[in-house]
A and B are shown apart, each in its own frame.
Chain A
Amino acid sequence: MSIVPEPLTQFPWRVLAILVAIAGFGTLVLYSAATGSLTPWALNQGVRFVIFSGMALVLSLIPLETFARLAFPAYVVVLGALIIVEFIGGVAGGSQRWINLGFMQLQPSEFMKPVIVLAVARFYALLPVGEIRRWSAIWPALVLIGVPWALVLIQPDLGTATMIAAGGVTVMFLAGLPLRLFVGSGLTLAAIIPIAFSFLHDYQKNRVLIFLDPESDPLGAGYHISQSKIAIGSGGIWGKGFLKGTQSHLDYLPEGHTDFVFATMAEEWGLMGGVFLIGAFLLLFRWGIGVSLHAHDKYARLVAAGLTTTIFFYVAINLMMVMGLAPVVGIPLPFMSYGGSSMLTVMLCIGIIMAIERSIRRNGQRRGNWG
């Protein structure tokens, strides 16, 4: 026993420090994006961060068994919401994503990102060890992933659909399915991409084509990527300085406070800001993977690593998009992009991983399988 009281050592200082660093930086960037004003973004975002952090801490107190038991019911609820969206959802930006609940706009596909991880992990935790190399270990997981993926894709929301599939497949990978299945389907996927391309919506096709050559349409759909690269590129190593970004302040950079907030940041803070931010995110992932490696329980391991990877996909897809390495798919940058939905989702992930970390401490000696 150390001299520090147990509740304090139990408190997840390390991860909270990382989160505060990222979110604090994000709030600063939003303050600048509003040309040096707390409203309309920075203050909201800060308050939201505090509230959602509290929520994550509360989640971390919930026993892991509860998450395990709720995995399938939650999956069914979110899937139901996705189906409802299909019929009565609001249309935004050419796709159907929202249910208007009156007091807030609900985006069920957002919740599917962590829930798919919980559900697939639950499935493999329940699966008897010997079954892992059978067909019965594969198809239920594929159905679990495939149904919401298809529902989100026809909204259409390519970015979220990709993240749902990637989150689920990551868990399948971690669950111990034979490697060649992944290699084989990877190759198959590469072969059918050109065919799938022809089924995309026109605006999606455009985005892909323009991603391949943004300068072909610098004033139209390629405008986002072009202006984003200009913002990042003109920032240089040290940036133009706080509140001195021109791309964002003069409105050349579209979505400078949401999807392209990284460009806003990079213009003012330069490569150094980018290194800091990416470094902080990597520390967060290292923490998440570390938790999963230390977990004794199969479900806990899969969930921790799966949720970490979900957060990773947010960051990676967003940054690749902002830097012109991926098409514009509308994935926000966690804690940086203004918006409640994504922060809520990511905080759910963090809260659950914290709960796993807590359970590791608590049940250090005991080994078990809640399946």
Chain B
Amino acid sequence: MKLPKLKRKTVNEAALSFTFTRRAMVLGGLQAGIGAMLIGRMAWISVAENEKYNLLSESNRVNLTLIPPRRGWILDRNGRPLANNRTDFRVDLIPERVTDPEGTIAKLTKLLTLTPEDGERIRTELEKSAGFRPVQVAEKLTYDQFAAVSVRLPDLPGVAPSQGFSRYYPTGATVGHLLGYVGAASAKDYEERKDPLLITPGFKVGKEGLEKWFDLQLTGKPGAKRVEVTARGKIVRELTTRPDAPGNPITLTIDGGLQDYAGRRLGAESGSCIVLDCLTGEILCMASMPAYDPNNFSDGISHDEWNMLSSDERHPLINKSLNALYPPGSTFKPMVAMALQSAGINPKERVHCPGGYRLGNRFFRCLGRHGSVDMHRAIAKSCNTYFYTMGNRVGIDVIAQMGHAMGFGEKFDLPVTSQSYGTMPDTAWKMRRYDQKWTASDTLNASIGQGYVVVNPLQLAVMAGRIASGRNIQPRLVKGRYPEAPFMPFPKEHFDTVRAGMWEVVNGDGTAGRSRLDVPGIQMGGKTGTAQVRKIAGSQRGQSGEWKYRDHGLFVCFAPTSNPRYAASVVIEHGMGGSRAAAPVAKDVLTYLFDPAKAMERLTELEKGWGGPPAERMARQMAAYRLAKAIEKGKAPPPATSAPTEATNSAAASNAAIPPPANPAAEIEASPPAHRRPEGGR
């Protein structure tokens, strides 16, 4: 077959040779051209884009590991640390890199002498973890343990030993509720902040209390460790390391010594002790016991310990100073006395106390038969009849107004994550809350700090402080330059009357005569309170029976009476009486302010009787709990729910007597059954 078109030109050997030469040269030229183009391309990449690729090559080669910054210290008013950091060696597991979890945990258990409980915790955390988040194996290791793990790293994929700092609270549990604790950031924290620091092993965020509130301020700037790594993540060598910048310290108004003392002095009791500077409102101590040891929390708490804490009926996880609400009982009366005077009641006016007050067909009982009492004596003897009579005369709204002025039902501007502000009831409140009219018996109950009234211990302390100084103090936690608070808009004589009554309570013929201060020249004024927890059934006056049904003991006070400087409130849950349980604590705590040595002497003596300082007692409690758990597991098959409470109670005085069932017909005084009421929350 021929191609007709192509036949036009005659083709011979010479022509073909010429064509070849020409085309071969074209080919050669093309090759040279492509060569030049390749050189040009290479020059473009390596010269023009050199910087970009250099950066990419560096980011390949260099792996940046964040070094968690040291957390800022929390200092007391004298610059003593309440929370600091200490060096520790730790070992973590990176879940996604662990190939054989069981084998690894077994090896680590042997190397680090972990308890079976730790193994359990690591296993559950490993299951729950998102893969990127490291799981702590152990903290506070000795150098030998640390080294033992480090040298075996090639056999332990996913194990990451590191050296870092951990939060340390020198006084342990006594600052627990005040400062809160720190812990590893949760997945939710990370999603919110997207800061890679949060998933760095060993980095902790504030979880509760001041640690949480001031978290960003306390968090410093992370350092960075630069290491050269291969594509497979093997570390070749370490490069330069940038040190971390510690977080800012925070100075509190707290007196560290007093805080610790108050916490220890509360002892085995469940309660709160708050001391304020009644001129400026600075909080000198705010102790709530029993409490968790925040040191244990920053390590990552064990499952058993958590169970023990959350099942304890003394609620070691609740900050009783701010988040527990109590009926104030008679500690309410100084405020009511102020209210009565503001309504024009003459403090000299006398009321006869025959042992109670009759309202219609109901009889509201007093604690005794006080005969004829004026306001001074009514405060000193805590005469209910006087306050029933006068309260009923002025009405609840006058009392409520004064109550709010003294801080009840109020939320304070404090750097705390949660504050329960309770209830200062009035007619409008009851209508709103229950859609019922306020009754005279409601007023009577409120006049003696029962009924609908619930307050938190801080409010009690603020009331004591405002009455003591006559100033409208606001509680403060962070040290700053605070001017003396302005005076309250009430006549000085009104305050004087109430203060004189409170002086009488302690130093005269009053309810707290046994708790006079032992410090020469210093006297304390106060007011006891006993608040019922449940309706009173027959002879059961909340003075015996099962612990959780006993009356609360409360006490508010100030000192010195000559020129008030400090105000305090003490609440002892189920302490059965203010004078019996709360006033002695207040006495010792105030003594510490004036004569620390003497106060410490007394505490040492008391602690001997209780079984040592709180740390020792808590350790014993934990051991008892573990033992109970072990017995329960080893001996009997389930049900496995009953044992914990019994075990935790072993340290406390448990009473075998079972209270008789409540009989509504026998009631003579109305009182809400529980001390923590939902409507008062937040």
Is A251 engaged at the interface, CB distance under 8 Å to the other chain?
yes
Tell whether, in the assembled complex, residue A250 and residue B229 are in contact, meaning their CB atoms are under 8 Å apart.
yes
Is B41 engaged at the interface, CB distance under 8 Å to the other chain?
yes
Tell whether, in the assembled complex, residue B38 and residue A316 are in contact, meaning their CB atoms are under 8 Å apart.
yes
Tell whether, in the assembled complex, residue A246 and residue B46 are in contact, meaning their CB atoms are under 8 Å apart.
no
B49, closest chain A residue (CB): A233
Tell whether, in the assembled complex, residue A134 and residue B25 are in contact, meaning their CB atoms are under 8 Å apart.
no
A129 to B14, CA, bound (A): 10
A319 to B21, CA, bound (A): 28
Tell whether, in the assembled complex, residue B3 and residue A133 are in contact, meaning their CB atoms are under 8 Å apart.
yes
Tell whether, in the assembled complex, residue A325 and residue B49 are in contact, meaning their CB atoms are under 8 Å apart.
no
Complex contacts, A236 vs chain B, CB 8 Å: 46-47, 50, 54
Complex contacts, A233 vs chain B, CB 8 Å: 45-46, 49-50, 52-54, 56-57
Tell whether, in the assembled complex, residue B46 and residue A170 are in contact, meaning their CB atoms are under 8 Å apart.
no
Tell whether, in the assembled complex, residue B1 and residue A134 are in contact, meaning their CB atoms are under 8 Å apart.
yes
A278 to B49, CA, bound (A): 20
Is B363 engaged at the interface, CB distance under 8 Å to the other chain?
no
Q: Interface readout for B9-40 with A: 1 if CB under 8 Å, 0 if not?
A: 10111001101110111011001101100110
Tell whether, in the assembled complex, residue B38 and residue A266 are in contact, meaning their CB atoms are under 8 Å apart.
no
Stretch at the interface among A90-98, A110-118, A155-163, A279-287: A279-287
Tell whether, in the assembled complex, residue B2 and residue A285 are in contact, meaning their CB atoms are under 8 Å apart.
no
Is A247 engaged at the interface, CB distance under 8 Å to the other chain?
yes
Distance (whole angstroms) from the CB of B141 to the closest CB of chain A: 31
Is A237 engaged at the interface, CB distance under 8 Å to the other chain?
yes
Is B60 engaged at the interface, CB distance under 8 Å to the other chain?
yes
Which of B13, B21, B45, B56 is A129 in contact with, Cβ under 8 Å? B13
Q: Interface readout for A278-302 with B: 1 if CB under 8 Å, 0 if not?
A: 1101100110010011000010011
Q: Assuming the A-B contacts A229-B45, A232-B53, A250-B60, are A316 and B9 also in contact, with contact meaning beta carbons closer than 8 angstroms in the complex?
A: no
Complex contacts, B49 vs chain A, CB 8 Å: 233
Tell whether, in the assembled complex, residue B6 and residue A293 are in contact, meaning their CB atoms are under 8 Å apart.
no
Interface of B is mostly: helix
Tell whether, in the assembled complex, residue B20 and residue A316 are in contact, meaning their CB atoms are under 8 Å apart.
no
Is B7 engaged at the interface, CB distance under 8 Å to the other chain?
yes
Tell whether, in the assembled complex, residue A132 and residue B41 are in contact, meaning their CB atoms are under 8 Å apart.
no
Tell whether, in the assembled complex, residue A278 and residue B39 are in contact, meaning their CB atoms are under 8 Å apart.
yes
Complex contacts, A173 vs chain B, CB 8 Å: 23, 27
B43, closest chain A residue (CB): A271
A134 to B4, CA, bound (A): 8
Tell whether, in the assembled complex, residue A234 and residue B50 are in contact, meaning their CB atoms are under 8 Å apart.
yes
Complex contacts, A281 vs chain B, CB 8 Å: 35
Is B228 engaged at the interface, CB distance under 8 Å to the other chain?
yes
Tell whether, in the assembled complex, residue B24 and residue A292 are in contact, meaning their CB atoms are under 8 Å apart.
yes
Which of A227, A232, A278 is B35 in contact with, Cβ under 8 Å? A278
Residues in A122-173 with C-beta less than 8 Å from chain B: 129-130, 132-136, 170, 173
Tell whether, in the assembled complex, residue A246 and residue B60 are in contact, meaning their CB atoms are under 8 Å apart.
yes
Which of B12, B21, B42 is A293 in contact with, Cβ under 8 Å? B21
Is A200 engaged at the interface, CB distance under 8 Å to the other chain?
no
Tell whether, in the assembled complex, residue B38 and residue A312 are in contact, meaning their CB atoms are under 8 Å apart.
no
Is B650 engaged at the interface, CB distance under 8 Å to the other chain?
no
Which of A227, A274, A292 is B42 in contact with, Cβ under 8 Å? A274
A104 to B650, CA, bound (A): 82
| Chain A positions near chain B (C-beta within 8 angstroms) | 129-130, 132-136, 170, 173-176, 178, 227, 229-237, 246-247, 250-252, 266, 270-271, 274-275, 278-279, 281-282, 285-286, 289, 292-293, 298, 301-302, 305, 309, 312, 316, 319-320, 323-325
Q: Given A135-B1, A271-B42, 13 other A-B contacts at CB below 8 A?
A: A230-B60, A231-B57, A232-B42, A232-B53, A233-B49, A233-B57, A234-B54, A236-B50, A246-B60, A252-B231, A271-B47, A274-B39, A293-B21
Between A and B, 15 residue pairs with Cβ closer than 8 Å are A132-B16, A135-B2, A176-B23, A233-B49, A234-B50, A234-B54, A235-B46, A236-B50, A275-B39, A275-B42, A278-B42, A282-B31, A289-B27, A293-B25, A301-B24
| Chain B positions near chain A (C-beta within 8 angstroms) | 1-3, 6-7, 9, 11-13, 16-17, 19-21, 23-25, 27-28, 31-32, 34-35, 38-39, 41-43, 45-47, 49-50, 52-54, 56-58, 60-61, 228-232, 236
Cβ-closest 7 pairs across A and B:
A233-B53, A234-B57, A133-B6, A251-B231, A289-B28, A250-B230, A176-B19
